Structure 1
């Protein structure tokens, strides 16, 4: 193997990075200090060589089993150089630098994942050898089968990484052949090792299938015959074997000739002549390897009966209620069919029907649904599928919730500091809603409330000898929240304004409330202000420190009522738990007998149940992020992405979260199963979240 370079951030194989020069022989400047497109081409070339060297160093470290080294070489420094390269690429004279930037990013991810997979494989191989030395053939088979999957992932990652490196070479002047050689040698070594493991421990199989019927529908399944043989031509006779047809698993019995018969009952398959995949799935401790085959059949459509109901007739902002739907064909429940719940066209929950064809979701009413008579629509999001996309509607009344605005304004060197909070009259904070701020001088600004309903910004500061009034308005027509307005006046020549008007108790209550808001205390006294004028502002204390002084900021809070307030609906405590149909998604209280996350995903991956593995990965990340970011428990997977980004989840974690969400959506809603590599990637991203202390 080639020797490692002494500089983790430089090129591999001890090659020196030449510092590019311009026509005036000016030495290349530090990328951190180059601006306005100066030396852009030279800077891009330097950064490309630097990152190329880091990629090669990582490959060399990996070939030497130095996994931590392989990861650290592509750590913060690589990320910084990549960020600089992306910025510089926009200023260069070549369009290929933009393409190279994407390849450098993809190469980093594939190299990191390849490192993880190679480390996992070598750990598995050590466990495999130990099991064989102990004479534990069952454990050896289980481990060998896990190694089979890992070796396949390594091959896929290696191929993708080589493509990244080739594209980088084609778009830059960087030579990455040494890194490619190291990658290919590592992959070839593992492939050879796995071939030996397969030869000494596992037996290959051949699956053949044929559709006997020309058509298939949910109400009239198609008959499929097949045979399972070993690689030496013998049959797997008189055994119960597991088959996966598309994303559904079933057990069938072989006869003395290894022949079996099964039924294909389509749900999500596209209409017309289709090539349907079928896979033989051995037990985790089986000596046999899996095999795949396909059969062709004409898929026909069935229109199901869909009914729905809700647990309440009236809801308001933030209320939780249950929505239930039932999908059946000729009175038989249709299981594993995706269902969306929508109000006014906005999807508020997604789930999958259970074994009896029913599904129940706990929905928390968002602010974006307009008040009035509405309908909860339960629909199957299918088009041109074996199960027709139909829907059912349930009427529901969305009652308006009155709101209040708290507002404070104070003068600062850089303008008027405006801060406040949007709340319901019951004291619940309102997140993610727009508030319009304006002054009597004419300036206007729009802000959005944070997850605790607060907002803070600065407005242009008029001369201190002029008084100014700040007006905050919440007025969102397409919403179930009532309007609210608040004003704060700063008098001329001071940081405050007119003395507060109102009762002392009202002033004290407001001050206590705002201290809690602005200092982040959870102990916030309930406040119902109605119509009144009270206020405070922050003033410096001579000699240092700060004091809360009741002075000039005047408050005016108005709540608009469009209709009488209904009695709050209640939901049983059990209904507040998220109910997600499908494998491994039932919310339970942990106990000492509950399998761990690793137990569950490894069990599913070892058995080839990639859909279930993807769902477990998503559930772990969903629950953690929902709790950490204050999201509703019923938040859907795409809402989880959107709101996590809004709440400042780092972009690197957002990319990982997208991987998990996309795999989950395929597992839950797509007609075909999750690709093994995608399921593995989703599980790996979930592991990263857990290792970072997120889930």
Structure 2
């Protein structure tokens, strides 16, 4: 191995150079000492004070050792009308510190709200930059179980204000484009943009309502005052509503739709006649047009006559069974002059059993290969359109696809590595057992071939007593292996594991001193000073084959490179005063000395107990709070308040965050919920993967369908989320032991 300057050598060189410069410039030091400038004051340096290390956050000093806090000296504090940091510093009251931090957090929220009202969206986001996160982190430290503290409320308010700022900025961009289209006389484009304005305006209204509710939660659980912030949000929302209404009135002709059914019950195999009329708000018919009606979950094309009347047939498919109030909505084209309208009809929806066919190709595939699943859904010989078909392979969901008008479906996806080698079953069934059309899964068989894996590894020993082992694990096709971890062995004994990142890479610091000589007699430490390090990968829960690689690392190279670098640096240094020479020599002797039992490099990186930050691809959550724990608490509050849809959406976010922090889980940053579910299925134990899939299914039906989540169903979902978060806590606790 070539002896190259290691990080240790660079550090030694830097210290040596610093000592040389200090010793060579006594005049400058004397001048500085005689200038009358006072030495910097460090918190805790004064005689008789606590010398616990502290950090200052926006003018408030947080004690690191005890978890208590006191505001900093007034010279370091930011002025605030809510709390006097000097007074808090004198009495050392933790409650006053909480109040000071809460006031600063509230100020940031108020500033952001005012900026949004003024249309300064970038500045609004700036009010919730990293400083807000640091303030919130400090607030968490001093909050404890105090009744007058609610870190969750502040965190939720910050998240919702970011959402509101994004929604308001998007509305503003659309509004300016709309005005430009009107000025240019492009009425067709103006109508398209006006429809977007309505959607953007609804999002602003929704996120603004959520934000003011979060402000109320902050005020009800802390001493913060967000009255002005609430007023700013309401003013900004009212402005959006007024401009949206003006654009709609100037651009569209309002309509009315009236609908009725031939009878009050329907099933897919017993469709119901639907008739009605579409007219303008003034009574003029929307005549002789082919229009789109959204009836329940179905989109139907119907023709109106000269009076605006229409007739069609409705076959329920994805709507839930039972007594339903089915929406009938007129949906004009984006560039139409007409505005849409809604009506409802009462129907008792009965179930229909359907039949699913399936074909999977190719019949033999390996991980990463594309597999196509096709088939049809029919009921008593009638093709079923718009039916949601879930496709799985080996128990892992590949995706959900809707049938076409002729009842056919097709899904093509990559075969997950989590499907074990051998015979696997592919299934396709109509999703949702309580829907109007029901169908048990059809099955097909495929053979899953094992996939060879290669490991490209390297290692360096910067000081001889520790080594940094890094590399990449890939399939034979060059696809990264993102599931699981590699084992690292020295002299035949496993000394560490390293999780794989989403690009298939790994990195781990190991202790050579303890490992060499304690194995089973392998070819460990040789007389030439090198040691053999083996890296292996095996995951029996996948179709990936075992792989291993062995590398040798020269334990003496690090010290040789360090010595050479220092000698080179000192070769051109002029003669120095004796004191500087002695100081430099002592520093270099300490750095060069091979005291492997107390190696400073190992201490700096943290050894085996603290190398998570040195691994590539780790998704460890910052701080001590469990990933998803705060979101889960928020979901429970929404459930208790009867906000079941919001509870499901928030609970899913909690589960997704907990899963993303799990061992070996590589969640795509912008992946869909089913892509995330597939990633979880590849890495989680079977029980946890099934639990997360249940959560994902419920989330999809609520967020993307018309399902109204029942309180009991939401309670079950929250229990699943709690189990996932608790499992993550247990895993992290075991990692820390």
1:348-363 matches, within 5 Å, as: 348-363=398-413
Q: Over residues 194-243 of structure 1, what are the superposed CA-to-partner deviations in whole Å (9 max), with x where a residue is unaligned?
A: 44444454333332222212322223221122233333344434443321
Provide, for residues 225-265 of structure 1, a one-character-per-residue CA deviation record: whole Å limited to 9, x for no partner: 22333333444344433211234322222334433222221
Match of 2:425 in 1: 375
Name 2:470's counterpart in structure 1: 419
Say whether residues 1:482 and 2:545 are aligned partners.
yes
- Any idea what the Cα deviations from partners look like across 1:597-651, whole Å, max 9, x if unmatched? xxxxxxxxxxxxxxxxxxxxxxxxxxxxxxxx9999xx8643247759999xxxx
Does the residue aligned with 2:496 lie in a helix, a strand or coil?
Answer: strand
Q: 1:114–1:158: 8 Å Cα contact kept in structure 2?
A: no
Residue of structure 2 equivalent to 1:25: 90
User: Is residue 81 of structure 1 aligned with residue 135 of structure 2?
Assistant: yes
| Aligned counterparts of 1:483 and 1:542: Cα–Cα separation in 2 | 41
Residues 110 and 160 of structure 1 are in contact (CA less than 8 Å); yes or no, is this contact kept in structure 2? no
What are the Cα deviations for residues 37-91 of structure 1, in whole angstroms up to 9, with x where unaligned?
xx65444433322232223223333333334333333334334434444x33653
Give 1:457 shift.
1.0
Q: Contact 2:490–2:515 (CA<8 Å) still a contact in 1?
A: no
* Distance in 1 of aligned mates of 2:450 and 2:333: 56
Contact 1:277 1:295 in 2 (8 A): yes
**Equivalent position of 1:530 in the other structure:** none
With over 3 angstroms needed to count, the CA separation of the structure-2 counterparts of 1:264 and 1:40, relative to structure 1, is farther
Q: Aligned equivalents of 1:300 and 1:207: distance in 2? A: 26
Unaligned runs of 5+ in 1: 1-8, 28-38, 497-536, 546-628, 648-660, 674-695
Superposed CA deviations along residues 275-307 of structure 1, whole A, max 9, x for unmatched, are 111211123344432222211212222222222
Report what 1:226 is aligned to.
Answer: 276
Say which SS state the counterpart of residue 398 (structure 2) adopts.
strand
Provide closer, same or farther for how the CA distance between residues 286 and 487 of structure 1 changes in structure 2, counting only shifts above 3 A: closer
In 1, Cα distance between equivalents of 2:702 and 2:356 = 22
Q: What residue number does 1:152 align with?
A: 202
Any residues of structure 2 matched to 1:581-620 within 5 Å, and which?
Answer: none
The counterpart of 1:54, out of the listed 108, 126, 140, is 108
Confirm whether residue 309 of structure 1 aligns to residue 359 of structure 2: yes
Q: Is the 8 A contact 2:398 2:678 kept in 1?
A: no
For residue 390 of structure 1, what is the aligned residue in structure 2? Answer: 440
- What is the 5 A alignment of 1:117-516? 117-120=170-173, 122-123=175-176, 126-127=179-180, 130=183, 141-405=191-455, 408-413=458-463, 415-424=466-475, 430-439=481-490, 444-462=495-513, 466=517, 467=525, 470-487=533-550, 494-495=555-556
Change (3 A) 1:173 1:645: farther
2:279 alignment partner, SS class = strand
Structure 2: where are the runs of 5+ without partners? 1-57, 60-78, 518-524, 526-530, 567-664, 684-695, 709-737
SS in 1 for 2:418: coil
Judge conservation of contact 1:216–1:297 (CA < 8 Å) in 2: yes
2:504 and 2:171 mapped to 1: Cα distance?
A: 47
Mapped partners of 2:410, 2:363: distance in 1: 16
In the superposition, relative to structure 1, how do residues 308 and 142 fare at CA in structure 2: closer, same or farther (>3 Å)?
A: closer
Query: 3-state SS of the aligned residue for 1:397?
Result: strand
Residues 221/75 of structure 1: CA separation in 2 closer, same or farther (3 Å cut):
same
Structure 1 residue matching 2:358: 3-state secondary structure: strand
| 2:84 maps to 1:63 | no
Q: Which has the larger radius of gyration?
A: 2
**2:152: which partner in 1?**
99
Secondary structure of the structure 2 residue equivalent to 1:543: helix
- Identify if the C-alpha distance between structure 1 residues 435 and 200 changes in structure 2 by more than 3 Å, giving closer, same or farther: closer
- The verdict on how the C-alpha distance between 1:117 and 1:98 changes in structure 2, with shifts beyond 3 A counting, is same
User: 1:453: how far off?
Assistant: 3.7
C-alpha RMSD over aligned residues? 4.2
Q: How high is the TM-score relative to the length of structure 1? A: 0.63
Distance 1:662 1:121, change over 3 A: farther
- Following superposition, the deviation at residue 383 of structure 1 comes to 0.8
- CA shift in 2, pair 1:53/1:339, >3 Å: same
- Give the secondary-structure state (helix, strand or coil) at the position aligned to 1:127: helix
- 1: CA distance, partners of 2:279 / 2:449: 64
Residue of 699, 705, 716 corresponding to 1:670: 705
- 1:41/1:302 CA distance change after superposition, 3 Å: same
Instruction: Give the Cα–Cα distance (whole angstroms) in 2 for the partners of residues 222 and 162 of structure 1.
Output: 44
Counterpart contact for 1:267–1:385, Cα < 8 Å: yes
Residues of 1 paired with 2:363 and 2:403: CA distance?
23
1:396 is paired with a residue whose SS is strand
Contact persistence 1:271–1:298 (CA under 8 A): yes
Once residues 199 and 636 of structure 1 are traced to their aligned partners in structure 2, the CA distance between those partners, rounded to angstroms, is: 37
* In structure 2, C-alpha distance between the alignment counterparts of 1:289 and 1:371, rounded to whole Å: 55
SS at match of 2:353: coil
| 1:564 matched residue in structure 2 | none
Task: Report if the CA contact (8 A) 1:97-1:171 is conserved.
Answer: yes
How many Å apart are 1:116 and its aligned residue?
1.3
Counterpart for residue 638 of structure 1: 674
Q: State how far apart, in whole Å, the 1-side matches of 2:205 and 2:551 are.
A: 65
Residues 469-491 of structure 1, C-alpha deviation per residue, up to 9 Å, x if partnerless? 65544333222233344555779
Distance 2:272 2:129 in 1: 53
The structure-2 alpha-carbon separation of the partners of 1:149 and 1:200, relative to structure 1 and needing over 3 Å to count, comes to same
Shift of 1:388: 0.8
Q: CA deviation at 1:345?
A: 0.8
- Say whether the 8 Å CA contact 1:127–1:143 is kept in structure 2: no
Task: For residue 209 of structure 1, give the secondary structure of its aligned residue in structure 2.
Answer: strand
Structure 1: distance between partners of 2:218 and 2:559? 57
